[in-house]
Amino acid sequence: MPASSTLAALRAEIAALERGARPASAVIALGDPRVDGRLPGGGLALGAWHEFAGEGLELETAAESAAFVVRLARPLTGRGELVWVLRRDDLHAPGLAGLGFPAERLIQVCARDEAEALAVMEDALRTRGVAAVFGEVEAVDLTAGRRLQLACEQGSATGFVLRRRPFGGRGRADASSAAATRWTVAPAPSEPAPGEPGLGAPRWRVGLERCRGGRTGAWIFEAAEDDDAAHPFRLVAELGDRDVAAPERLRLAG
């Protein structure tokens, strides 16, 4: 229809304005049209930063979100240097290596406080030759977020912010953020094949809460069994908004 094509053209123009003069950058496809279709460009945009947050204790440990993000960022590992900015140095390299991540190349930086962690992230994102920067910070306010975005555009790196309060305590209020996408990551029970003992492939209940130039959604992902698979996840189920909230309420009641 002419109306929709005009709309699409206008949208593309706005997106180009928002990006500045840069050409459309590449994306990481998640490998399922039900997810990729909601993200602008058909995947997680490179040269931007993305935010991942958990809930409850997960906000303190950031273990499940780290496991998810490490798999998500695997296609970037061959493209350059990797930097992980920590506040608490509890990242276990053999665990990362087990997920097919080149842990021996990962440059780990332990910052002393929140401001320093953000400054280090910014510095690393701006550096040429760095492909991905992971940062564990409590919250990214609007100014800091803009600075991260500018740094992403100056360099060629993709940022992954893991929201984390490493030493517990009350969290800061959720500030509006300048992230390209914002995700919530929570674990989901695994379903091993019938008759198989032990744990199945890990699953996550993942919500896309905010997506500039795209649509939000919620899904259950399962890690691909093979570390070298083309896409790190398999989409198990698509969730409505109600499904995302439901299990938490059930658990509280029961």
Partner 1 sequence: MRRLHAVDDAAQALGLFAGQKATDAMALVPELATDEADPAGDAAALAALALWCVRFSPAVAADPPDGLLIDITGVAHLWGGEAAMLDDLLARMARQGIPAQGAVAGSAGAAWALARCGGGRDVVPPGAEAEWLAPLPVTGLRLEPQTAAQLLRLGLVRVGQLAAIPRGQLARRFGARVLTRLDQALARAEEALAFRRPATPWFARLAFAEPISAPEDLARASRDIAACLCARLVAEGQGAGRFELAFHRLDGRAERLAIGLSLPGRSPDAVTRLFAPMLERVDPGFGIEVVTLAADRVEPLPERQASLAAIGEVAREDGVAPLVDRLANRLGEGRVWRAEAWPSHIPERAVVRRPPLSAADGRAWARDRPRPVRLFARPEPIEVTAPIPDDPPIVFRWRGTLRRVRRAEGPERLAEEWWRRPPGETAPADARDYYRVEDETGARYWLFRDRLYGGEVAPKWWLHGLG
Give the binding site for partner 1 (CB under 8 A). Answer: 57-58, 61-64, 66-67, 70, 80-81, 83, 89-99, 103-112, 116, 120, 123-124, 127-130, 186-190, 192, 197-200, 202-205, 247, 251
- CB of residue 95 to partner 1, shortest distance in Å: 4
Residue type, 65: S
What distance lies between CA 156 and its chain's CA centroid? 17
Select 122 or 138, whichever has its Cβ closest to partner 1. 122
Select 204 or 219, whichever has its Cβ closest to partner 1. 204
What are 86's two structure tokens? 């920590």
- CB of residue 81 to partner 1, shortest distance in Å: 4
- CB of residue 35 to partner 1, shortest distance in Å: 19
Place of tokens 């290596």: 97
What Rg, from alpha-carbon coordinates, does the chain have? 18
Q: In Å, what is the CA distance from 45 to each residue of 59, 127, 214, 216? A: 24, 18, 11, 15
Collapse the DSSP code of 38 into the 3-class scheme (helix H, G, I; strand E, B; otherwise coil) and give the result: coil
Half-sphere exposure in the Cβ direction for 52 (13 Å, CA): 27
Select 189 or 240, whichever has its Cβ closest to partner 1. 189
- CB of residue 9 to partner 1, shortest distance in Å: 31
Select 49 or 101, whichever has its Cβ closest to partner 1. 101
